[in-house]
């Protein structure tokens, strides 16, 4: 067994039945703690062998315990991953990785991309963030296949709208994919570049949502004006995301603020549609848009305020943290938005 293990154990089948207790203890490797089972009285030697076999099992389990449960088998096959499977406390991290001071445990210290991928099969404080994106992405892909296979045909959607109703979920899916990539590999040296990729995915998703629904809500000159206004409102956040000179961390707050202003601008075409749009269409669609806006606002408020971990530091490190709530909220909004777009093409 590798020398990095904390102790070693002789295989059970190497101990012959009928061995004495004294002889059995001599077979235990150095560093293995002996736990007495109490007086044996007049028990047969076979019972001693049974107790010996159990002790060997316990010793072997203790030798694997630092590797963490089911990860032990993987660590034996890939010894370089052993350290990556350990969960760390916040004080063990470099200052650049301490993004939330209220999440105290459950951190990864992956040394390679392979270790990051293996970590998807383990539970840590990024598990919910990653898998909420992956699961929602799978659901969205299945819905998109169903849309193009049958739903568009059943609703007799024209080619132009079919293209639009396909592009919008693809943009949402790109956001989910980039977010999953970032949260999988954010403990590697490439974390900064992946963060910018994640933000670009968010930008693409939000802008596509606003432009797509604006195109569905208006016709003629009103559509041109609102689309032009939305593109102009999205330009500052695009420049802060795409231009290399603005990719430094000191521009992060500016990126977020410009995205927030664009989100506020989206209320302008939505308000115009609510006031002047077809009453039946507004009645069918406005509640969905309000639900998305409220859910995103609440999720963002939770994310910014660091609640509930701010109130109970360390209690929600693995499940229930603000960042995880944000991802679940975004996933719900993506699925709602996908269904909402069909309200614009259903027969009235």
Residues flagged as binding site for Zn(2+): 183, 323, 327
Residue found under tokens 């069918």: 284
> What phi and psi, each to the nearest 5 degrees, are found at residue 88?
-115, 160
With 0-12 / 13-18 / 19 or more C-beta atoms within 10 angstroms meaning exposed / middle / buried, residue 37 is: middle
Token pair belonging to 40: 């044996």
CA 109, CA 115: separation in Å to the nearest integer? 9
209: left (phi over 0), alpha (psi -120 to 50) or beta: alpha
> What phi and psi, each to the nearest 5 degrees, are found at residue 286?
-60, -40
CA 51, CA 40: separation in Å to the nearest integer? 10
Which residues have a Cβ under 8 Å from the Cβ of 50 and sit 6 or more positions away? none
89: left (phi over 0), alpha (psi -120 to 50) or beta: beta
Q: What is the DSSP string of 100-126?
A: -TT--S-B---SSHHHHHHGGGS-STT
Annotated binding site: 183, 323, 327
């Amino acid at each position: 067994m590798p020398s990095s293990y904390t102790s070693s154990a002789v295989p059970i089948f190497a101990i012959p039945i009928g061995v004495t207790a004294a002889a059995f203890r001599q077979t235990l490797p150095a560093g293995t703690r002996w736990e007495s089972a109490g007086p044996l009285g007049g028990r047969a030697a076979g019972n001693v062998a049974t107790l010996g076999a159990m002790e060997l099992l316990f010793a072997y389990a203790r030798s694997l315990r630092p590797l963490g449960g089911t990860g032990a088998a993987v660590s034996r096959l890939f010894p370089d991953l052993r350290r990556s499977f350990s969960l760390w406390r916040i004080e063990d991290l470099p200052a650049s990785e301490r993004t939330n001071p209220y999440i105290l445990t459950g951190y990864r210290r992956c040394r390679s991309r392979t270790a990051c991928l293996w970590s998807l099969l383990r539970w840590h404080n990024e598990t919910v963030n990653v898998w909420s994106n992956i699961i929602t992405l799978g659901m969205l892909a299945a819905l998109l296949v169903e849309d193009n296979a049958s739903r568009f045909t059943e609703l007799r959607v024209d080619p132009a709208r079919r293209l639009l109703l396909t592009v919008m979920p693809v943009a949402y899916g790109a956001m989910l994919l980039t977010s999953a990539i970032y949260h999988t590999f954010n403990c590697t040296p490439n974390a900064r570049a992946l963060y910018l990729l994640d933000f670009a995915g968010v930008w693409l998703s939000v802008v596509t949502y606003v432009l797509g629904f604006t195109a569905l809500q208006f016709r003629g000159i009103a559509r041109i004006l609102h689309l032009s206004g939305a593109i102009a409102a999205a330009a500052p956040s695009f420049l802060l995301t795409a231009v290399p000179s603005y990719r430094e961390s000191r521009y992060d707050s500016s990126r977020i603020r410009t995205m927030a202003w664009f989100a506020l601008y989206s209320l302008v075409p939505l308000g115009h549609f609510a006031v002047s749009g077809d009453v039946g269409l507004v009645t069918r669609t406005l509640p969905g848009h309000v639900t998305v806006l409220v859910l995103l606002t609440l999720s963002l408020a939770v994310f910014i305020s660091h609640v509930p971990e701010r109130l109970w530091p360390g209690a929600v490190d693995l499940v229930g943290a603000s960042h995880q709530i944000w991802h679940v909220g975004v996933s719900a909004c993506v699925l709602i938005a996908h269904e909402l777009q069909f309200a614009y093409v259903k027969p009235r």
